[in-house]
């Protein structure tokens, strides 16, 4: 989660602390986040550039001006930025440094965003939400300086509905000592905030973006976890159906058959290397086209469009069957397996993942597979399109 900050001055500075310079020309990056703040975005950018040994210079400016500077070819990029159609011909958005969790909020005395009467909307001046309102042709009643002012106006009825990050709103409610039960909310969307790099710079350095995105994951701050209320929505929609699938005798038999092989971890890792380097192969075909895999695909089809993938794993975390091809064969070192296998939980919900290519957000619901004695013998990982799940009536 990132709190949007506005900076009107045009302070320029060079980020040098701990940075290994290179022969490349320094990148010029615009940012609306003040240099004096110890922000996680600055820390992430510094970490990534150190990984790449890329010199860079930060130019503090309002992000709208930074966007225009990229279009004019005067700087190489700006952050933090949300996806916008008008930048497609000028720049490319990196993998997310942050995800914002946008909700509609309104006081219980109002009907909310579905009201049939005129709605008075408010936003923070210069924020991504304000830009979203303008792009969607919403008329804003008021634009103010920060989230606290916005929530106060909502509380006294000066505006009817606001759009804000979930954590930002909840923190404002706590600071203002307002009663959270007086407010209603509805999920709108997740918003990935990254760096827009100019097309001209990427043309000069075609390997830059893949390397930068790899650095994002290496330098990531705290993972983006679902709020408790959001987890409850996922559980209410899919836990019963997923638990029934985990009790399917065909799947249990397939897992038990693979467990009996008792493959050493070295052999599993060798299979994993082959899986990643050469697809398709005999192993991937066997995992993808078995009777158990067909059962997974049929279950996924019956739960469309919520389900993105289903993976059946043995007691080491190796693939037994998959609904579609996976990046890895061995899942044993990943949280969808570790978070549920031999754990005292009925289910485990992982953090939100963002697929850059499909621009889709996914969470994984993991369930244990047990034998007749109740002993865990494997695990089931169910990928869920989280935005669809949270907006489903």
Q: Kindly report, residue by residue over 280-299, the tens digit of the pLDDT.
A: 889 999 999 999 999 999 99
Q: What is the DSSP string of 173-233?
A: HHHTT--GGGEEEEEEEEEEEEEEEEHHHHHH-TTHHHHHHHHHHHT--S--PPPHHHHHH
Host domain of residue 263: 228-391
User: The CATH number of the domain where 278 resides is what?
Assistant: 3.30.450.20
Residue 115 belongs to some domain of the structure: yes
Same domain, yes or no: 156 and 238: no
Distance between CA atoms of residues 196 and 30, nearest Å: 10
pLDDT attached to residue 59 = 93
Same domain, yes or no: 242 and 203: no
Global pTM reads 0.78
Return the DSSP state at 312: E
Higher-scoring residue by pLDDT: 33, 59 = 59
At which of 189, 206, 238 does a domain end?
189
Could you give the number of structural domains in the chain? 3
Same domain, yes or no: 288 and 181: no
pLDDT tens digits, residue range 187-229? Answer: 999 998 899 999 999 999 999 999 999 888 788 766 788 888 8
User: Is 22 a residue whose pLDDT tops 50?
Assistant: no
Higher-scoring residue by pLDDT: 57, 393 = 57
Q: What is the mean pLDDT of residues 112-122?
A: 93
Decide if 318 contacts 330 (C-beta within 8 A): yes
Same domain, yes or no: 170 and 240: no
Burial 52-61 (b: 16+ CB within 10 A, else e): bebbbbbbbb
Same domain, yes or no: 258 and 378: yes
Same domain, yes or no: 129 and 44: no
Percent of the chain with pLDDT over 90: 70
Decide if 385 contacts 361 (C-beta within 8 A): yes
Q: Which of 10-19, 132-141, 233-242 shows the lowest mean pLDDT across its residues? A: 10-19
Same domain, yes or no: 298 and 313: yes
Residue 3 belongs to some domain of the structure: no
pLDDT attached to residue 244 = 97
Same domain, yes or no: 114 and 87: no
pLDDT tens digits, residue range 75-97? Answer: 999 998 888 888 999 999 998 88
User: Is 353 a residue whose pLDDT tops 90?
Assistant: no
Percent of the chain with pLDDT over 70: 91
Same domain, yes or no: 253 and 374: yes
Same domain, yes or no: 334 and 302: yes
Decide if 116 contacts 104 (C-beta within 8 A): no
pLDDT attached to residue 360 = 82
Residue 219 belongs to some domain of the structure: no
Average pLDDT, the chain: 88
pLDDT attached to residue 38 = 60
User: Is 21 a residue whose pLDDT tops 70?
Assistant: no
Residue 245 belongs to some domain of the structure: yes
pLDDT attached to residue 214 = 87
Same domain, yes or no: 143 and 289: no
Closest by Cα among 13, 94, 100 to 60: 13
Residue 7 belongs to some domain of the structure: no
User: The CATH number of the domain where 184 resides is what?
Assistant: 3.40.190.10
Residue 181 belongs to some domain of the structure: yes
For the CA atoms of 141, 142, 146, 149, the dihedral, rounded to the nearest 10 degrees, stands at -90
pLDDT tens digits, residue range 35-71? Answer: 655 677 888 899 999 988 899 999 998 888 999 999 9
Same domain, yes or no: 50 and 113: no
Q: How confident is the model at residue 393 (pLDDT cuts 50, 70, 90)?
A: low
């Amino acid at each position: 989660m990132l709190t949007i900050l506005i900076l009107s001055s045009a302070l320029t500075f060079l980020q040098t602390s701990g940075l290994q310079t290179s022969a490349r020309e320094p990148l010029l990056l615009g940012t609306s986040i003040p240099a004096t703040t110890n922000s996680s975005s600055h820390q992430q950018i510094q970490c990534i550039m150190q990984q790449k040994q890329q010199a860079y210079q930060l130019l503090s400016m309002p992000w709208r001006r930074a966007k225009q500077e990229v279009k004019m070819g005067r700087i190489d990029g700006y952050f933090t930025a949300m996806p916008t159609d008008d930048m497609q011909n000028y720049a490319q958005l990196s993998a997310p440094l942050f995800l914002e969790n946008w909700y509609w909020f309104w006081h219980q005395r109002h009907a909310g965003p579905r009201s049939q009467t005129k709605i008075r909307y408010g936003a923070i001046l210069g924020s991504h939400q304000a830009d979203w309102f303008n792009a969607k042709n919403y008329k804003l009643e008021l634009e103010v300086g920060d989230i606290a002012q916005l929530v106060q106006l909502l509380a006294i009825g000066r505006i009817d509905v606001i759009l804000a990050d979930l954590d930002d709103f909840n923190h404002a409610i706590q600071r203002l000592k307002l009663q959270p039960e007086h407010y209603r909310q509805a999920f709108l969307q997740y918003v990935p905030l990254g760096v827009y790099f100019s097309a001209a710079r990427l043309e000069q350095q075609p390997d830059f973006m893949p390397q930068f995105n790899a650095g994002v994951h290496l330098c990531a701050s705290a993972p983006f976890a679902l709020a408790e209320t959001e987890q409850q929505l996922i559980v209410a929609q899919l836990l019963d159906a997923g638990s029934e699938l985990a009790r399917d005798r065909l799947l249990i038999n397939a897992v038990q058959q693979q467990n009996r092989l008792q493959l050493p971890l070295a052999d599993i890792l060798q299979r994993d290397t082959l899986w990643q380097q050469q697809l398709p192969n005999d192993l991937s075909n066997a995992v993808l086209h078995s009777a158990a895999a067909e059962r997974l695909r049929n279950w996924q089809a019956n739960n469309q469009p919520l389900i993105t993938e289903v993976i059946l794993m043995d007691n080491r975390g190796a693939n037994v069957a998959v609904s579609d091809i996976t990046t890895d064969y061995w899942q044993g070192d990943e949280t969808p397996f570790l978070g549920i296998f031999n754990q005292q939980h009925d289910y485990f919900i992982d953090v939100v993942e963002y697929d850059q290519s499909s621009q889709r957000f996914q969470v994984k619901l993991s369930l244990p597979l047990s034998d007749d004695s109740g002993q865990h013998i494997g695990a089931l990982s169910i990928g869920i399109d989280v935005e669809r799940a949270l907006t489903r009536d």
